[in-house]
Amino acid sequence: MKYVLVSGGVISGIGKGIIASSSGLLLKTTGLRVTAIKIDPYLNVDAGTLGPLEHGECFVLKDGGESDLDLGNYERYLNLNLNNENNITTGKIYKAVIERERKGDYIGRTVQVVPHITDAIQEWIQRVAKIPVDDSGEEPDVCIIELGGTVGDIESMPFVEALTQFRYKVGKGNLVNIHVSYVPIIHGEEKTKPTQHAIKQMRSAGLIPDLIACRCERALDEVTTQKIARSCQVEFQQVLTVRDIETIYQVPLLLQDQGLLHRLREALMLDQLSIPPTLVNKGANLWQLWKKTVVSKPYLEPVNIALVGKYIALPDSYLSVIKALEHSAMRCNRKLNLAWIDAEHLEDATLQSDPTTYHKAWSQLTIASGCICPGGFGGRGVPGMVKAAKWARECKIPYLGICLGMQVAVIEAGQNLCGYKNATSEEFDAKAEHPVVIFMPEGSKEIMGGTMRLGTKTTYFQPGSEWSKLRALYGDLDVMEERHRHRYEVNPDYVEALEKAGLNFIGKDETGKRMEVVELKDHPFFVGVQAHPEFTSRVLAPSPTYLGFVAATTGCLDQIIQEIREQKTTSKLVNGVESIHF
């Protein structure tokens, strides 16, 4: 097993996850099987209870694991299906060690950070690195490890010590450390001192940089790169420049141009590995398709989409939603132009308190070609989302509701189509007169972590739904499989009235009692899904749900559906879609 460790210095949030994913992609293009592990030093067991405005989105894995958003990057770049154990946290490690101590595994010994915590970290990495995560079902060849935060943080010290030991444990030629640092530009001058100090601190902690990836706004001058190499005791060729570029999907191309793959081949002695010719060809084809897809075409027509949400102050709260929209826009040969609208700004209360903000928000919404309402929790902003859904329904504007966004569409229909003026969700009003959305019976209101309906679930398209645009996007199949994360669901007692009013619940769970998909028949595209299909969207294989929405806003939905139906007769489809570009 080969390992690529990606660590960071100076500041966090400078793109370690993208560099880790890009490194994995380049290795995958050689025919190697790649997996990934993210280390988050916080004490939480998982990301499920973290606030989106503080930490960004919670990415849901196939097995229901609630993880850091970087695992989404790994899955999107590398086309993997990771599991809960691919995200290591301090909480998980300490919990595992304490449970072993209580069982008596360390009987008679003092349990300490070194060696017990550090050994547990190393054992976890080696065990998880061997788990198959792609369609082949075979053990990976390379594991990408990203260490979250920055080297020097108090909370990451046990992980740094464990990884220092791990380098010698796996032996020479089996681990490469890429250290990501930030080079600020102040009054036009490229400052190398922060990187020098970061590398010095990294070495004093025990880690050794094999490659230094310098994040910066522009390509560094050669003299700056030479200064970093000289000051950090590395060769000039070991310093990479990762400048700001048009799209993060071009980062692999940027790194390839600087010889990253060649350096990984040498350091990991990859030429000694035997790779089947079929996998080598598959990797080469992947690289050609990737370049064809991500290289921007000049003068692309924009597609204007309004995102009406609760957490727009931090765009990373909707990272997978944004990426799914980007994937679909690339497939439709359009440039995504996203208008961020705070749902509260659409409400009548804002008209009274801040008319300028109110009218600006409505102006953004009304000029958009489509409207998406993503997931969220709590009642703040929901009245504004309901207004957005009503506008999209009445004005025949493509609408996509995700999780809460689907429930919002149901609430809007209850209020304006069924005449239930007080229709709402139990989440917002426990004593609601018309609770068209209710708490799921099997849920827990006492324990918050890991108690939602999580992971991949099967949705069954109902008889008589052959007209459905969404079903056609899934290849006219009988089922769709997407990942879920919710505590509330449509109230079955109101389904009949809602359907009489015009809503069509075309997708349900295996019991037939839980509503999974709602769609309007006489509408260009009005769809609500209880699932989060953005989590399975890939750069080369967009989510069918998002693809249909974006295609409807650009006027090419019929063409997309036709191509999907043609594919069905010639190739294996993943959720009804394979990567075709036009």
**pLDDT band at residue 13 using 50, 70 and 90 as cut-offs:** confident
Neighbours of 467 (CB within 10 A): 11
Give me the residues paired with residue 83 across strands: none
Give the mean pLDDT of 95-121.
94
Is the overall model pTM greater than 0.75, yes or no?
yes
What pLDDT is recorded for position 55? 84
pLDDT digits (tens, 9 = 90+) for 137-172: 899 999 999 999 889 889 999 999 999 999 999 999
Give the mean pLDDT of 371-377.
95
Q: CA 34 to CA 279: how far, in whole Å?
A: 12
Q: CA 268 to CA 262: how far, in whole Å?
A: 10
Give the mean pLDDT of 88-106.
95
Give the mean pLDDT of 484-497.
94
Which strand (E) or helix (H) includes residue 36?
strand 34-40
Residue 395 annotated as catalytic: no
Residue 534 annotated as catalytic: yes
Residue 434 annotated as catalytic: no
Give the mean pLDDT of 233-242.
93
One DSSP character per residue, 366-429 reads HH-SEEEE----SSTTHHHHHHHHHHHHHTT--EEEETHHHHHHHHHHHHHTS--TTEEETTT-
Under DSSP, is residue 145 helix (H, G, I), strand (E, B) or coil? strand
What pLDDT is recorded for position 253? 95
Neighbours of 397 (CB within 10 A): 22
Name the residue with tokens 């008596």.
104
**pLDDT band at residue 569 using 50, 70 and 90 as cut-offs:** low
- Catalytic site residue from 75, 412, 532, 556: 532
Give the mean pLDDT of 421-446.
89
What pLDDT is recorded for position 581? 34
Give the mean pLDDT of 173-197.
93
Q: CA 136 to CA 134: how far, in whole Å?
A: 5
pLDDT at 429 over 70: yes
Q: Is the peptide bond before 252 cis (omega within 30 degrees of 0)?
A: no
What pLDDT is recorded for position 573? 46
In terms of phi and psi (left: phi > 0; alpha: psi -120 to 50; beta: otherwise), the region of 172 is beta
Neighbours of 463 (CB within 10 A): 8
- Catalytic site residue from 332, 373, 403, 556: 403
Nearest in space to 34 (alpha carbons), one of 129, 128, 135, 143: 143
Q: CA 47 to CA 30: how far, in whole Å?
A: 33
Neighbours of 446 (CB within 10 A): 5
Q: CA 91 to CA 66: how far, in whole Å?
A: 13
Give the mean pLDDT of 547-559.
95
Rounded to the nearest integer, the mean pLDDT of the chain is 92
